[in-house]
Structures are given as C-alpha cells and as structure tokens.
Amino acid sequence: MTDALAVVLVAVAATFVWRALGAVLVGRVDPDGAVVRWFALTSYALLAALVVRLLILPTGSLGQLPLWIRLGAMAATLAVWWLSRRSVLPAVLAGTLCIVAAAVVLADG
Amino acid sequence: MDRSETASAALAGLRGAAGVPMLLTAGGMAGFGALAHDTGFSGWQAVLATVAVWALPAQVVAAEMYAAGADLLAIAIAAALTSMRFFPMAVALLPGFGRPPGGMAGRLLQAHLMSATSWAFMMRPAVPTAPRPRLAYHSGFTLGCISVAAAATLAGYHGAAGLPGPLALGLLFLNAAFFMVLLADSRSRQALLAVALGAVLCVPIHAVLPEASLVLSGVAGGSIAFALGDRWRRRQ
C-alpha cells in the first residue's frame, strides 16, 4: 500500500511543475497552441472519467447508496444547473440534498 | 505607489473573494476533506494537500486513486494531466504583475496562489490594471481563498468522521457535483466531446485496468476529441 503522505507530495509536485513552467516561460509560449489545446481536452476527458469513477464506480462510502440514487442526484444537479441558467451553487445544493434525503429514507426503511 | 495604496488594493482583493468565490472554494474543499477522510488520509495530510497542491481536481484524483490502490507514478501522471491548465493560466496572468518583489521566487509564489477561480476573477474589468495594485489585489484574493479552503478541508474531514451518515454522504457527493457543473459549462463542442468520450470510455477501461482507467480514458478521450476537432476546424 502506497503511503498517503507520498501521494500528497506527488500531487504537490505534479501540480507545481506546471505553475513553475508557466512562470519561467512567460512571454515565450503561445497559450493557445496545439499542445496546450491537447492537454486541455485531455484534462476535460480525465475529469469526466473521474466523475464516473466517483459516482458510478465508487470505491468508498458512496457505494452504500444504490446506483439509481447516485444517477438521480447527478441528473438533479445538471437539471437545476440548466434551469437556474448555469448557476453553480443551487445545482450543487440540489444534488447534495438528493443524496442526503435518499440516505435518510434508506436508513429509516 | 505608496504603501497605503497597496494595502487598500489587497483589501479590495480580499473583499472580492468574500462571497461566491469563497463559498465555491469552501464547498469544493469541504468535499475534498470528506473524501480524504473516506480514503484514509490524516487530517493534517488533507490540509497539506489543500494548501500545497491548491488544485481541487489533482487533490481528488490523488485521493481517489490512492483509495483504488494505484501506484505513485500513475497518480503523478493523472494529477499532472489535470493540472496542466495552470501552465497557460500562469503565462497569461503573470505578465500583468510586472516585476514582482522577490524576483522569480515572488513570481512562483503568485503562480502557486493562482486558482481557476482567481484567474477568472482577475480578468474582470473592476480589478486594478497597474502592476503593483494588481499584484496586491491578487495576493489578497488568493490568500483569502486559500485560508478559507484550509478551514473548509478540516471541517469536511471532521464532518465526514462525526456527522450522521446521510450528511457525510452529502459531503462526499460535493466533489462530483462541482466537477459535473464545471464540465457541463464548457462552451466548445470539442470540449463537450472530450467530456462525453472520457465518461463513456471510463467504464469498459475500468473493468480491465482499474488502476490506469483515469489516465487512459483521459488521454484517449482527449486525443480523439483533439483529432476530430482539428478536422472540423479545417473544414469550416
């Protein structure tokens, strides 16, 4: 089993290297170049995969809830986001409330 | 540029952060704190991650992959792929500060404090444009956010440990909710294609190679969207 502190330090290094590279190369690179665009798209795809792993294939406590409830909370989040004209806080609150309410009902039943 | 002017710009930055930016940061980091608890980090390791990584996707990726038993190299690659956005952000943001005090160390400090939220905020017209007040504004804004984030991480961590089960599960849902909204907000068709591909590819890849599924889905989805998108672009 990998050590948790080592994991944190690896994440620190993996993030800081990009910030430092930007600070060093200021004025010498094109922020809209092909390489930057590929990385941006890859990070979007990776984050989407992360959402799938967190909600559809969870390793932790969220797995206690049935899949349909997790999918319902995802749908509620996106629906409220859309209906509230793309505001983040109501959307996140709505999805979170779905999870809490479902967990309360399941715990009682 | 006298000292009181710098101080008032820093205070203006702090006031700019108070409100929606701090609420968003606190919500995301409380979710990370809960996840960190769920995956077996200690409280101070969770706070260290928030303050020293200061990038929610990389933090969540690292915690999630740690829980899944991935090795350090895989975690490093996945975290680096999500954090690449800081490179173009730094290139665009830092010239506005002129020559910061402390030379390269000062510039690296500002690059570290920068977040996606602060970056978007700094592009608004209300932010001072002269280098020194702009630097002070950015410092006030980001130091305010990072302090709130550290407290929220600890609160989320202890919330996951001590709150009743349903509320703890709600905290755990926060990360995914924030990322979903962030991804849905991408305006370009090419980015939405990358999002769809990453989500769809993750399930079969995860069944075969669970430890590498994040990196593989990201690279495959991103590359396909990149190749298709450049073809679209050429046709237009």
- CB contacts, 8 Å: B76 with chain A: 10-11, 13-14
Q: Could you tell me the sign of the dihedral formed by the alpha carbons of B165, B167, B172, B176, in that order?
A: positive
Which position has the token pair 């700094």?
B122
d(CA B230, CA B210): 30
pLDDT at A58: 87
Name the helix (H) or strand (E) containing B139. Answer: helix B131-162
Q: Which of A20-34, B42-56, B62-76, B111-125 holds the top average pLDDT?
A: B42-56
* pLDDT tops 70 at residue B235: no
Q: Answer whether B64 sits within 8 Å of A14, measured CB to CB.
A: no
What is the DSSP track for chain A? ---HHHHHHHHHHHHHHHHHHHHHSTTSS-TTSHHHHHHHHHHHHHHHHHHHHHHTS-SSGGGGS-HHHHHHHHHHHHHHHHHTTS-HHHHHHHHHHHHHHHHHHHHH-
Per residue in B150-166, pLDDT tens? 999 999 999 999 998 89
Q: Could you give the ipTM of this predicted complex?
A: 0.89
Closest chain B CA to residue A1: B69
Q: How far is CA B87 from CA A50, A70, B49, B225, in A?
A: 21, 34, 19, 21
Per residue in B39-66, pLDDT tens? 999 999 999 999 999 999 999 999 999 9
Name the residue ranges covered by the structural domains of chain B: 3-174, 186-236
Phi, psi of B187 (to 5 degrees): -85, -25
- CB contacts, 8 Å: A40 with chain B: 84-85, 88, 191
Q: Answer whether B83 sits within 8 Å of A15, measured CB to CB.
A: yes
pLDDT at B1: 53
Distance from A86 to chain B by nearest Cα, in Å? 7
* pLDDT tops 70 at residue A42: yes
Q: What is the mean predicted confidence (pLDDT) over B102-126?
A: 89
Per residue in A56-99, pLDDT tens? 988 888 999 999 999 999 999 999 999 999 888 999 999 999 99
Closest chain B CA to residue A42: B222
Confidence class for position B202, pLDDT limits 50, 70, 90: very high
Q: Answer whether B23 sits within 8 Å of A89, measured CB to CB.
A: yes
CB A31 within 8 A of CB B99: no
Tell me which residue of B127, B54, B219, B59 sits closest to A19, measured CA to CA.
B54
* pLDDT tops 70 at residue A1: no
Confidence class for position B234, pLDDT limits 50, 70, 90: low
d(CA B51, CA B29): 10
Please tell me if residue A74 touches chain B, with a CB cutoff of 8 Å: yes
Mean pLDDT computed over every residue of chain B: 91
Closest chain A CA to residue B176: A51
- A98: Cα separation from own chain's centroid: 18
B136, amino acid identity: A
d(CA A61, CA B37): 10
Give the 3-state DSSP-derived string for B153-183, with helices as H, strands as E and coil as C.
HHHHHHHHHHCCHHHHHHHHHHHHHHHHHHH
